[in-house]
Amino acid sequence: MVRMQAAGCTIYSLLLAYYHPPLQSTKGVELTALEFRRDCMQGLSNIVRKVQEKSPLKYPTVRQMACLDPSVMYRDPDRCKRQIKCLVQRFLQDKQLTGGVSAGDVILQQYRIHLDQERRKKELEAQGRKRKAEENHLEELKRRKKSILEVSQGLTRDADRFAEEAEGKAGSKMAMLIS
């Protein structure tokens, strides 16, 4: 193994030669720092791509597994239904799902039922919160009505008392004027 150094990077030429043949013919000294970095990035990208190709979990499969995240399930259930359907189809194609197509149908049905139950539960919770807020608002309106009635009754009593006093005073003034 021969070590190459450029721009502070150390990499084994054997690894680069295996995964990125164009670098095999060039020498590390001849490459400028930017070219070397670019070639290193391309080499690492090729390494990652080859590792991903040999991996049992492919990118689309992992991407579709996002539908198992509860926050995503409740935020966008339609997209999750499509993703779980594609995920089950992929498992059926790769023969990773025992039970065949019928097991896939059962999985999809259970997933839909779960999403529907959670949606209903969420709707009931929202409806309960709304009902509670409306009940609180109604109680507040009843308290306001009661206080307004008490104030109006007090004002009515005061008005009656002042009217009686005015009649009494007016009657005595009339009597004085008449006499």
The domain in which residue 136 lies consists of 59-178
Identify whether residues 45 and 91 lie together within a single domain. no
- Note whether 46 and 64 are same-domain residues: no
Q: Are residues 133 and 165 in the same domain?
A: yes
Whether 168 and 85 map to the same domain: the answer is: yes
Helix axes 100-178, 77-93, angle to 10 degrees: 170
**Of 79, 97, 86, which is closest to residue 58 (Cα–Cα)?**
86
Cα Rg of the chain (Å, integer): 41
Same domain, 84 and 129: yes
Residues 97 and 137 in one domain: yes
Q: Is 114 found in the same domain as 49?
A: no
Tell me the per-residue pLDDT of 125-141, one tens digit each, with 9 for 90 and over: 999 999 999 999 999 99
| Residue 5 banded pLDDT, cuts 50, 70, 90 | very low
How many domains in the chain? 2
Residues 50 and 107 in one domain: no
- Give the tens place of pLDDT for each residue, 51-69: 766 666 666 777 777 777 7
- Mean pLDDT in residue range 34-63: 78
CA neighbor of 112 nearest in space, from 91, 139, 84, 132: 84
Q: What is the pLDDT of residues 72-128, one digit of tens each?
A: 777 888 888 888 888 888 888 877 777 778 888 888 889 889 888 988 998 999 999
12, 83: one domain: no
